[in-house]
Amino acid sequence: MSEQSNESGKTVGIIIIVVFALAGLVGLWYWVMYKPQQEAKEQVKLEQIAKEQAAKKAAEIKAQNKIKYDQLIKDADTEMGQENWQRAKSLYTEASSLFPNEQYPKDQLAIVNQKLGELAALEAIRAAGVVESVATRTGRFYIIVSSSIDDDLAMDYANKLAQEGNAVKIIEHDTGKLVYYRVSVGDYASREKAESAAVAFSNLSDEVWVLGY
């Protein structure tokens, strides 16, 4: 009986040892292999979600910027058509900052900057009281305040206006019958713009009109 009890005790002891050993191995596997693998997988999953969210956010921002860019270009083109050069420059610059690789606003900025340079040169001429002469057609619309067949008379009046700070040009206008010397105090790309600006010069002449030349 005693021997059987000893044998039973040994068996139980062995079973307990085996159980603890297995538990230890399971625990070791869990903490050393399984859990790190799961954590690594979870980390990869979280990183993937973060990348997808970042990509989605970037796409949303790009779409919003594209809408803004298109509107800026539209507004800039309008301002440029109306010869509002500084405003056009500001809008094209802002559009270019949204999409630096787009060539269109860069090309338009080059045109605008050229026009601004021309205006600066014109302002310098105005400040110096210089009268310019136009002998060939330009396709622009001139605000005329005086017209004469006597070029000396036209030049005398033009010099007077220039000394008063006006940007004056003499248009040598050959009508086919006579050559008229038209004194202009402003010129624009469109008739509408010229006619609108002509009102400001009504004090210079009883008859202010627009010549397309």
CA distance 100 to 61: 15
For 172, the token pair is 């040598």
pLDDT digits (tens, 9 = 90+) for 66-95: 999 999 999 999 999 998 999 999 999 999
- Could you give the percent of the chain with pLDDT greater than 90? 56
CA distance 83 to 115: 9
- What is the bridge-based pairing of β-strands 179-188 and 141-148? antiparallel
- The rounded mean pLDDT for the chain is 88
- Could you give the percent of the chain with pLDDT greater than 70? 96
**Alpha-carbon 194 to chain mean position:** 28
For position 156, what pLDDT does the model report? 93
CA distance 154 to 134: 13
What's the alpha-carbon Rg for the chain, to the nearest Å?
42
Listed as ranges, residues in the chain with pLDDT below 50 are: none
Query: What residues pair up with 182 in beta bridges, in sequence order?
Result: 147, 171
Q: CA distances (Å), 82 to each of 79, 89, 171, 190, in order?
A: 5, 13, 23, 8
Answer yes or no: pTM beyond 0.85: no
Edge-first strand order for the sheet with 132-134 is 132-134, 169-174, 179-188, 141-148, 209-212
47: amino acid identity, one letter? E
For the chain, list the domains and their CATH numbers.
Answer: 1-128 (1.25.40), 129-212 (3.30.70.1070)
- Helix crossing, 85-98 with 35-81: angle to 10°? 160
Residues constituting the chain: 213
